[in-house]
Structure 1
Amino acid sequence: MSQFSSRQRNALAIILASYLLILLDTSIVITGLPEIQASLGFSQVGLSWVQNAYTLAFGSLLLLGARAGDLFGRKNVFMWAIACFALASFVIGLTQSTSLMIAARAAQGASAAVLAPATLSLLSTYFSEGEERVRALSLYGATAGIGATLGLVLGGMFAGWLSWRVGFFVNIPVCVVLFFAARFLLEESEPESGKLDVMGAIYSTFGMACLIYGIIEGGELGWQQTIPWGFLGVALLSLMIFVANEARHQAPLMPLRLFSDFERTSAYLARMTFVGAMVSFFFFSTQFMQHVLNYSPVEAGLGFVPMTAFTFISAMWVPKVTRIIGNKWVVMGAFALLILGLWLLSHLNTGAEYFADLLLPMMIIGLGNGAALGPLTVSGVKGVAAKDAGAASGVVNTAHQLGGTIGLSVLVVIFASAKDPSLDPTSAWAGQISVGYLGCVVMLVVGLLILLASALNSNMRQRKMASV
């Protein structure tokens, strides 16, 4: 970070710490769910809403949360979001009630829906487009890789050795530090003139809520039921009305001009396939290490450490490699590495050993993971006017959230349908997980084809401009 000014270093430290806070909180909960169920007496269905309430609030409010920073000032909105996140964490840490737990998790998700795009829009504000922003986003990408794995390890440690409540209480001092750091070190952005797109906010929030709820219910009830499809139909209608509203509104929640650039739109779609595959990778790998290799939650978390290390190494090399071959080739190379690593994992069986069979794929996936997120984010906010930075950050985060939710839901259905009742439980798990990994491969191949189409379109456009 020595190449940045002191102003930029202060801002980047706050941005990365805030992003890490969100990532840690999400993954810490996963490993703490069994202890939360035992402590509060959740039913199996009720327990799923500890995560679903967060996901629903987070995904449905992202676009509104992103635009709030543009309209009311990014520093101001960031501070409010941090304060609300801390309060929700405090309530969760103390609660003895299942209903209050779910409500507070929803409040956490709503706070994160404002905080996540605020961090990315602040990064776009402090770092100009080009190499400077690429360097900052490489650190942002490295934080993403580290946060997901560190959360799994810490969650297992807190739940197994201390209490699941510790994982929420530790948020509070971190939030206090971030609040005052933002208060004294960040500069306020110039609020955009215009009124909040109220109808757009209603349609988008309702539509996204129905979409995510429909996906969640489809995964839990099964896609043969009518309830998930009913919610998805309502979501489609609401989001169509939302798009029509955005086309007419003078200060839209999601300016449709963000999708006028093919490279940006391709980055959003490719990001969805990337996140869908990576969230599923963490899910299937955790299942494999715990159910097939018989690892404890802490051991399973530690199994991701090599991947995390290579994610960090790769992310640090992204700026240098980007200067040599360009952003689009870096991200396509990253997808190729991810496809290779997940294809290798798809050959795992009950005789697998970590060092012989998992270590190399984990390292390859780490290289691809570290090289993908930063360049995808660069493409997602490339060429965006300052007044639309918040909205663009919201679209990036919405693509991120939807990719993970949809991708995992689809692959879990495929995973469940691949069960062979003639096999013993361990062999059946291994076979299902292998099919799940192949699903990740297919998802990434689709993403790579989207990126290739974007690259070819860019080359054709450059040739036309050169010939004029």
Structure 2
Amino acid sequence: MSSRARIPNRWLGLVVLSLTQLMVVLDGTIVNIALPQAQVELGLSDGLRQWVVTAYALAFGALLLLGGRVADYWGRKRTLLVGMLGFGAASLYGGLAQSATELIIARGLQGAFAALLAPAALALLTVTFTSGRDRNVAFAVFGTIAGAGAAVGMVLGGLLTEFADWRWCLLVNLGFIAVGFIGGLFFLSESRADGENRYDLLGAVTVALGLGSLVYGFSLAEGGWGQPSTITFLALGVVLLALFVWIETKVAQPLLPMRVVADRIRGGAFLIQAVGGSVMIGATLYLTFHLQIVLGMSPLSAGLASLPLPFAITLAAPVVTRLLARFGPRYLMIAGPLVVAAGLVWLSFITADGDYAVQVLPGMVLMGIGMAFVFVPLQNLALLGVAAHDAGAASATTNTAMQIGGSIGVSIFTAVYVAVSASSGAAGADPATAFTDGYGATFIAAAIGMVVASAIAIGMVRGPRLREMAYDADGGADTGAMRALPVH
């Protein structure tokens, strides 16, 4: 029996999986525009305000590897459905939160259940679309949604905040959950890894503590990189992650088999994903602050002003898909980050009295085009050559890179912003100018990160397997589909 016959309604299943991915990604940023309103109502300090964003990304990233193994062993469809229910409950809790602590806890719980949802969704995509034209069309759709989701979250957050209440930025998930859960029941097929399966709990605890320590250390850098507490947590994070790697080489069934990340192409894709996450989650947060705090836009206006970024990603994706078939992923992965960097450099020249159409719009369009070059091939590269038994772990690593990159990005950009804006204010600048000086510095820092991502692509995204990616005879001209041929 063919793969098509075994998997019923797989294109409707793609809709369910894409909807799940959209919800997971946009929830990383949907509260960004609502933060000023939530801060006033719940009495959040400036330090706690950052943790509304970081708690989600940190819990998500720290638990993703375990979530990937749960999906592999327990069943990917079952894990997806349970994750949906938990995510909905956490969203309801956050939407009804009466204190800053409750909101931050709810965001952490959302991240924890997202750690079940995301790897299960990507693993289901991998085993549902196994090769050829259909696989690449599916990954193009999924990758485009992953790239645009953060910006879509800001737009939706602005709409809900202005016309309803900031709480609806969390409660809106209940609608996604209802549609996704029912669709998942009918249009997704169960799959799981074969053989004896054991959970690597020691590895799970070690990597969660290591990533948590690392991100917390970066968040403390706002008060100074040389503080003992900053150095201690950063060093502890590095030690714990090194211990995690050692553990994974010793256990029989590791949480993250080193063969998944040791592959040069996949390793490069994971690193580029981390840098991309820092920009999409971290840098766009400060763009939102500029639109509202400096330019004085309402939440809805700020959300609409962010639309060029996802529009550029969406419009560029079909073109990128065709280029992917013609030139392969290597050149796209090299050029894409440089285009994003150019957009960030443009944004770095913002001024307190500047015009949105001149100072902001071109930079966002460049960022969107560049991100399409990155995200369309990235998901496929990150799973290139992964055995079915490791699909959940590889999927989890892809999402871990995005979320931990975003967590670290928010912390680093906050430290840069605080240092530069404080220096500007001390030099006699008015508050709006001090703000824009700080925002501009964060965009330069993000641009440097994207240049590093391009260098990673030059060094790591290369090899025979990329050259052996070729047109599908029946679909290359229309979809830019590629297939990975076996390597001998």
TM normalised by structure 1 equals 0.91
Partner Cα distance (1:43, 1:307) in 2: 30
Partner Cα distance (2:272, 2:197) in 1: 32
How far apart are residue 6 of structure 1 and its match? 6.4
Partner Cα distance (2:83, 2:182) in 1: 13
Q: Which residue of 1 aligns with 2:202?
A: 199
Q: Which residue of 2 aligns with 1:268?
A: 270
The one of 413, 427, 430 equivalent to 2:433 is 427
Contact 2:215 2:411 in 1 (8 A): no
Counterparts of 1:28-39 in structure 2 under 5 Å? 28-39=30-41
Partner Cα distance (2:466, 2:182) in 1: 49
Structure 1 residue matching 2:249: 3-state secondary structure: helix
How far apart are residue 43 of structure 1 and its match? 4.0
The one of 64, 76, 79 equivalent to 2:78 is 76
The one of 373, 391, 394 equivalent to 2:393 is 391
Q: Which residue of 2 aligns with 1:301?
A: 303
The one of 444, 460, 467 equivalent to 1:454 is 460
**1:378 to 2:384 alignment:** no
Contact 1:131 1:319 in 2 (8 A): no
Q: State the one-letter code of the partner of 2:279.
A: A
Structure 1 residue matching 2:32: 3-state secondary structure: helix
The one of 317, 320, 335 equivalent to 2:319 is 317
The one of 409, 412, 415 equivalent to 2:411 is 409
**1:149 to 2:159 alignment:** no
Counterparts of 1:59-458 in structure 2 under 5 Å? 59-192=61-194, 193-219=196-222, 221-419=223-421, 420=424, 421-455=427-461
Partner Cα distance (1:58, 1:245) in 2: 22
Partner Cα distance (2:452, 2:103) in 1: 38
Describe the shift of the 1:406–1:105 C-alpha distance in structure 2 as closer, same or farther (beyond 3 A): closer
Partner Cα distance (2:301, 2:175) in 1: 28
Q: What is the number of residues matched between the two proteins?
A: 460
How far apart are residue 324 of structure 1 and its match? 0.8
Contact 2:148 2:310 in 1 (8 A): yes
Partner Cα distance (1:103, 1:460) in 2: 43
- Of 67-76 and 278-287, deviating more is 278-287
Question: Which structure 2 residue ranges, 5 or more long, are not aligned?
Answer: 469-487
Q: State the one-letter code of the partner of 1:306.
A: P
RMSD between superposed Cα atoms in Å: 2.5
Q: State the one-letter code of the partner of 1:330.
A: L
Describe the shift of the 1:102–1:416 C-alpha distance in structure 2 as closer, same or farther (beyond 3 A): closer
Structure 2 residue matching 1:343: 3-state secondary structure: helix
Contact 1:342 1:441 in 2 (8 A): yes
Describe the shift of the 1:212–1:281 C-alpha distance in structure 2 as closer, same or farther (beyond 3 A): closer
Contact 1:138 1:315 in 2 (8 A): yes
Contact 2:139 2:376 in 1 (8 A): yes
Q: State the one-letter code of the partner of 1:139.
A: V
Describe the shift of the 1:260–1:409 C-alpha distance in structure 2 as closer, same or farther (beyond 3 A): same
How far apart are residue 81 of structure 1 and its match? 0.4
Partner Cα distance (1:199, 1:287) in 2: 40
Question: Which structure 1 residue ranges, 5 or more long, are not aligned?
Answer: 463-467
Q: State the one-letter code of the partner of 1:128.
A: T
Contact 1:210 1:231 in 2 (8 A): yes
- Of 311-320 and 40-49, deviating more is 40-49
Partner Cα distance (2:465, 2:180) in 1: 43
Partner Cα distance (2:84, 2:303) in 1: 27
Describe the shift of the 1:268–1:146 C-alpha distance in structure 2 as closer, same or farther (beyond 3 A): closer
Q: Which residue of 1 aligns with 2:478?
A: none
**1:23 to 2:1 alignment:** no
Q: Which residue of 2 aligns with 1:465?
A: none
Normalized per residue, which structure has more helix?
1
Describe the shift of the 1:179–1:447 C-alpha distance in structure 2 as closer, same or farther (beyond 3 A): same
How far apart are residue 12 of structure 1 and its match? 0.8
Structure 2 residue matching 1:28: 3-state secondary structure: coil
State the 4+ residue runs in structure 1 displaced beyond 4 angstroms: 3-6, 455-462
Q: State the one-letter code of the partner of 1:215.
A: F
How far apart are residue 14 of structure 1 and its match? 0.7
Structure 2 residue matching 1:31: 3-state secondary structure: coil
Describe the shift of the 1:460–1:145 C-alpha distance in structure 2 as closer, same or farther (beyond 3 A): closer
Describe the shift of the 1:216–1:367 C-alpha distance in structure 2 as closer, same or farther (beyond 3 A): same
User: Percent of aligned pairs with the same residue?
Assistant: 33
Q: State the one-letter code of the partner of 2:71.
A: G
How far apart are residue 130 of structure 1 and its match? 4.8
Partner Cα distance (2:214, 2:17) in 1: 29
Partner Cα distance (1:48, 1:145) in 2: 22
Contact 2:329 2:466 in 1 (8 A): no
Q: State the one-letter code of the partner of 1:214.
A: G
TM normalised by structure 2 equals 0.88
Q: Kindly provide the CA deviation profile for residues 384-441 of structure 1, in whole angstroms up to 9, marking residues without a partner as x.
A: 0011000001111111112112223223322332232222222222223222222122
Partner Cα distance (1:182, 1:322) in 2: 30
